[in-house]
Structure 1
Amino acid sequence: MSISSEALQKLLREVETQAIAAQQQISLVRTQQASKQRELRMAQLTRTEISSLPVGTNVYEGVGKMFVALPASDMQAKLDAQIKEAEGDVEGLGKRLHYLEVSQKNSKDQIDRMLRGGAAS
């Protein structure tokens, strides 16, 4: 059973489109992952700085165009939650990146197989 040349070209274009889309998604996910890692690092550094303050010290949190005073312990709790969320986001983006990289590799392998099979015909 041989595939017609037109059907092979159509299938090749579809697989190429999938590979290009996967590459674009990989770039987007890498950018998002880098952004989340920066956010995570900044929250960790801020938490470290706040933990070195004396007990009972108030810190200020930016809310819109103003700052609100709150106890350092409350700010640390907020930062802990923010860090936990960012770590989860980074892990999820890592899994998505792995999926997209595998998907792109499979598309390229499929293109290679089609080209080798088409050249042999």
Structure 2
Amino acid sequence: MSIPNDALQKVLQEIGQKKAFAEQQLVVVRQQKAAKTREARMLQLTASEVTSLPKDTNVYEGVGKMFIGTPISDVQKRLSAESEQLQADLSNLNKKEDYLEKTFQNSKDSIEQVLRGAGA
């Protein structure tokens, strides 16, 4: 049984669009992952610097255009919370990347399968 050319062309176009969308989203997700990884590294370096300071050191955080004196313990808590949030974000991006890779691969396989079926 043969599929009519119009239907075959429509199926190929839909699968091709799905493949292209997945490919575009993969690029975006990988860029987001790289940015989050850099951000996590900066937080880690900041946390290690703050940890190495004596407990009585004055620490200032930027708030808008001004700086506010903040206890080291508060800074460490904030850095820890931001680090946990970044790890959660990275975990979600990894899941999204896996899903998009599977979608891309499935679309690619479907196109090949349709083309093999049409050639038979």
TM-score (normalizing by structure 1): 0.96
Q: Which residue identity does 2:8 align to in structure 1?
A: L
Distance in 1 between residues matched to 2:58 and 2:98, nearest whole Å = 43
Query: Superposition RMSD on alpha carbons, in Å?
Result: 0.8
Distance in 1 between residues matched to 2:114 and 2:45, nearest whole Å = 51
**What is the correspondence of 1:73-84 to structure 2 with a 5 Å cutoff?**
73-84=73-84
Identity of aligned residues (%): 50
Determine if the alignment matches structure 1 residue 65 to structure 2 residue 65: yes
**What is the correspondence of 1:80-99 to structure 2 with a 5 Å cutoff?**
80-99=80-99
* Paired positions, count: 120
Segments of structure 1 that go 5 or more residues without pairing to the other structure are none
**What is the correspondence of 1:35-50 to structure 2 with a 5 Å cutoff?**
35-50=35-50
Distance in 2 between residues matched to 1:73 and 1:38, nearest whole Å = 24
Please name the residue that 2:6 is paired with: 6
Segments of structure 2 that go 5 or more residues without pairing to the other structure are none
- Regions of 4+ moved over 4 Å: none
Distance in 1 between residues matched to 2:105 and 2:114, nearest whole Å = 14
Please name the residue that 2:30 is paired with: 30
SS at match of 1:3: coil
TM-score (normalizing by structure 2): 0.97
